[in-house]
Each structure stands twice: as structure tokens, then as C-alpha cells.
Amino acid sequence: MFRFVALLFLFSTMFAATTAPKGVYDFTLDSIDGKPVSLSSYKGKVLMLVNVASKCGYTPQYTALESTYEKYRDRGLVIVGIPANNFGGQEPGTNQEIKTFCTRNFKVSFPMMSKVSVKGDDTTPLYKFLTNKATNPKNAGEIKWNFTKFLVDRNGNVLSRFEPEVTPDSPQITAAIEQALGK
């Protein structure tokens, strides 16, 4: 009996180790329209994942996000907006209200996902991965506010993290995008 239990433990440990997420391509989110989107559908692209909000002091960054997307999308950049209502209730709307707000006010054409939680007990698995020291040692740490940006290489590895005050069209982000696209 002991051998059977030990063998069962060994197989379950091996299975867990092989199914643990290794990069952002291992996650699926719902689009703003409620359809599942596997981030693996962006393999070969450079991603910028951004937790966004409609009623935040950083909300005007949508303009720079859209212009950055338009500038680099033909070279392989995809910006993914991920609404979250974790900070001061600054994303209170439904997915449809968020979509309408982004389209009407900022002409957003980059992919938008359904609203999720990026911190706390109900953190979505993608953000658990992005903020965990074990899975993302270089860029881990709790999300502090809306418009935190993660730049991901063409293989699904997180390259860098930019805090909200760093705008999408800043020299730091532009240089990081250029370097990632050049690879």
C-alpha cells in the first residue's frame, strides 16, 4: 500500500510540475465580449498587458496605448487591455459599458478583455503568475494601481514591468518595445 501511495504521489507531483504555467501563453482570458481568448493565440507577437480603468487619473493613457499600438502593430506588437476594479472602484462599469467608453472616448482598437481582479483573494490566474516571485522573479510584486504594464516577448516570457506613472509612449517603454520587436 505504501508503494502505491508513494507512486501516486510521484505521478501527481510530476503531472502538476508539467502543467504549471511557464509563461503568459498558458493563460486564457475572456474577451470584453465574453469569448475565451487563449493568450497562446498571440504566440510570436510582443505583448503589452495593461490593467486599465475608466475613471482613473491615468485613464488618459488610453490615448498613448492606442497610438503605440497603431505605431507598432504591423511589426508584431499587441496591446491587451485588462480592466480591473481593484483600486478605488475606478472601473465600476459592465464589460459593455467599458467597451463603449474605450471606443467612444479613445478609439481603442487593441484587444480588450473582460474585467478581472488583479490583486487580493480573487486575483485572476494570469495576474497571480505575473506578480508571483516564484513564476516571475524579475518583475514580481503586488499590482499597486491601474495602468501597470507588463511587456512580454514573442515566446511568452515577461521582459519588463512598468508602473502606472510610466506612460506607454515614454522613452523607457519605446526602447523596450523596439528591442523586443527587433528580436
> Which SS3 state, helix, strand or coil, does residue 103 take?
helix
Rounded to 10°, the helix 61-72/171-182 angle is 30
Contacts of 149 (CB under 8 A, 6+ apart): 48, 49, 50, 161, 162, 166, 168, 173
| Domain contains 5 | no
| Domain contains 176 | yes
CA dihedral over 119, 38, 55, 165, signed as positive or negative:
positive
| Domain contains 9 | no
| Domain contains 110 | yes
Q: What is the pLDDT of residue 136?
A: 86
Domain count, the chain: 1
Please tell me the distance from the alpha carbon of residue 168 to that of residue 55, in angstroms, as a whole number.
Answer: 18
Q: What is the pLDDT of residue 10?
A: 46
From first to last of the 183 residues of the chain, give the pLDDT tens digit.
Answer: 555 444 444 444 444 444 566 889 999 999 999 999 999 999 999 999 999 999 999 999 999 999 999 999 999 999 999 999 999 999 999 999 999 999 999 999 999 999 999 999 999 999 999 999 998 889 989 999 999 999 999 999 999 999 999 999 999 999 999 999 995
| Domain contains 33 | yes
Q: What is the pLDDT of residue 22?
A: 80
Q: Which residues pair with 84 in a beta bridge?
A: 116
Residue with cell 506607454: 168
| Domain contains 16 | no
Half-sphere exposure of 73 (CA within 13 A, CB side): 12
The CATH number covering residue 128 comes to 3.40.30.10
Q: Which residues in 71-163 belong to E strands, given as ranges? A: 77-83, 149-152, 158-162
| Domain contains 58 | yes
What residues are annotated to the active site?
Answer: 56
Tell me which residue range forms the domain holding 110.
29-182
What nine digits make up the cell of 84? 480591473
| Domain contains 150 | yes
Q: What is the pLDDT of residue 59?
A: 98
pTM over 0.85: yes
